[in-house]
Amino acid sequence: MKLSAKSRYGTRLMLDMAQHYKDGPIHLATVAKRQGISVKYLEQIIIPLKKASYIRSVRGPKGGHTLAKPPTEITIGEIVAWLEDSASLAACSGNPMACERSRVCATRSIWQEAAQPCLISCSPLP
């Protein structure tokens, strides 16, 4: 599976927010500058992540955006699943009926294991 720019940038956004989680709400312009992503694009990416309750907005002079839960409770797989149509590496990994060989296929378990989400906190941070 080749990830879209939306998933790649969304992951960078979430990792940046995880790195600065204890700093409080962050302005998208700050993340945009650190990550080299336009604010307009981050504004589009943040919508589904807010809808999925991964990010919350804080109003006011010290406002911005913050993770809605600790980074240890959010997985890269979850983020990609919300930003992509499908996070499966192969159709059979999530649906054994997608392939007639799924019961005897030696690679199906590899695809399933590879698609397992990794916690943001265990990901190597830049």
- Could you read off the pLDDT of 60-75 as tens digits, one per residue? 888 899 999 999 888 8
| Class level of CATH domain 1-74 | mainly alpha
pLDDT digits (tens, 9 = 90+) for 79-117: 887 887 655 556 666 667 777 777 777 776 766 666 665
- Helix, strand or coil for residue 96? helix
pTM of the full structure: 0.70
Ranges in the chain annotated CATH 1.10.10.10: 1-74
C-alpha distances out from residue 21 to 2, 24, 100, 113, 116, Å: 28, 6, 46, 29, 24
